Amino acid sequence: MRRPAIEAAGIGETEAGDMALVRRALARDPAAVRAIIKTHNQRLYRIARGVVRNDAEAEDIVQEAYMRAFASLDAFRGEASLSTWLSRIVINEALGRLRKRRRVVAMPENPEARIIPFPLNPSDDPERTMAQRQILGLVERATDSLPDAYRGVFVARVIEGLSIEETADLLGIRPETVKTRLHRARSLVRKALDDEIGPVLLDAFPFAGRRCERLTRAVMGRLGFEP
């Protein structure tokens, strides 16, 4: 019976759920505050990380954004989802850090930083785990190499899975601009991966060391040669 009333008010189920959670958080319900933080941590971190390209700073940005958000939580009206509202605060905080950093010194490269958690299975063999980590590194470096305007769209659209409309709303640009930048970002990532993977393919399917020696001995033995 509540759904028609919600729709008549122009509020979707997600926004209604957000409002209920926000009201509980405003009443200092620790479970509600924890739920807000845990629900949005990964998205906010990825967005911040996509802007500043530094793990520690991205985490600090998210913490500061949460402090700003909870300090002005009574300003949340549910006109957008809580996720979008928080993401805008993170974007503003991250861009502010980036502008401040650039006034002081050129932004350093950080090829070891992580963006995308890769589901490594500890039960896998070491070679498989190493291969997965190498793939992860390739994707992260390719993403880090994107210009700022393209990287933000790529992280939001591809890594976070936001729609074109959500990405446009988050970044304050037109949907057509999202499409254009995303196309260019994908092309640049593809080229970066091709440049790195190409030389690696020359070493694909290695057969050396113990395996090579074992086969050599087996064949030599079958041919009648002394071991």
Q: Which of these ranges, 24-33, 53-62, 120-129, has the smallest mean pLDDT?
A: 120-129
Residue 193, CA distances (Å) to 25, 37, 127, 163, 190 in order: 44, 34, 21, 24, 5
Same domain, yes or no, for 101 and 175?
no
Find the domain containing 28 and state its range: 11-105
pLDDT band per the 50, 70, 90 thresholds, residue 116: very low
Q: Which residue has the higher pLDDT, 161 or 27?
A: 27
Return the structure tokens found at 210.
Answer: 């113990």
Identify which of 98, 90, 80 has the alpha carbon closest to the alpha carbon of residue 37: 90
> Which residue did the predictor score with more confidence, 117 or 177?
177
Q: Determine contact, residues 167/157, Cβ cutoff 8 Å.
A: yes
Residue in the block written with tokens 């209604």: 16
Do 32 and 86 belong together in one domain?
yes
Q: What is the pLDDT of residue 126?
A: 59
Same domain, 157 and 193: yes
pLDDT band at 205 (very low <50, low <70, confident <90, very high): low
Nearest to 181 by CA among 155, 142, 209: 155
pLDDT tens-digit series, residues 16-33: 788 999 999 999 999 999
The label of the residue with tokens 């030389």 reads: 199
3 in any annotated domain: no
Total domains in the fold of the chain: 2
Residue where the block lists tokens 């605060």: 89
155: tokens are 């992280």
- How far apart are the two ends of the chain, measured CA to CA in Å? 85
Task: Say what the pLDDT of residue 134 is.
Answer: 72
The verdict on residue 159 lying in a domain is: yes
CATH label of the domain that carries residue 38: 1.10.1740.10
Tell whether 178 is covered by a domain: yes
| Rounded-to-integer distance, Cα 185 and Cα 51, Å | 14
40 domain residue, yes or no: yes
Q: Please report which helix (H) or strand (E) contains residue 43, including its range.
A: helix 30-52
Within this chain, do residues 163 and 97 fall inside the same structural domain, yes or no? no
SS3 label, residue 77:
coil
Cα four-point dihedral sign 90, 170, 14, 77: positive
